[in-house]
Amino acid sequence: MASRTVTIASSVGLHARPAALFVEAATNTGLDVEIAKPGEDPVDATSILGVMALGAKFGEEVVLTADGDGADEALDSLVALLSRDLDAE
How confident is the model over 14-70, as pLDDT tens digits? 998 999 999 999 999 999 999 999 999 999 999 999 999 999 999 999 999 999 999
Kindly state whether residue 88 falls inside one of the protein's structural domains. Answer: no
In this predicted structure, what is the pLDDT of residue 47?
98
> What is the per-residue pLDDT for 88?
76
Res. 89 pLDDT band, cuts 50 70 90: low
Measure the CA angle with vertex 22, ends 8 and 4; round to 5°.
Answer: 55
By residue range, what is the domain housing residue 53?
A: 2-82
Catalytic residues: 15
Say if residues 45 and 81 touch (Cβ distance below 8 Å): no
* More confidently predicted of 87 and 64: 64
39 belongs to a structural domain: yes
Domain with 42 in it: what CATH number?
Answer: 3.30.1340.10
Q: In what order do the strands lie in the sheet with 43-44?
A: 2-7, 61-67, 32-36, 43-44
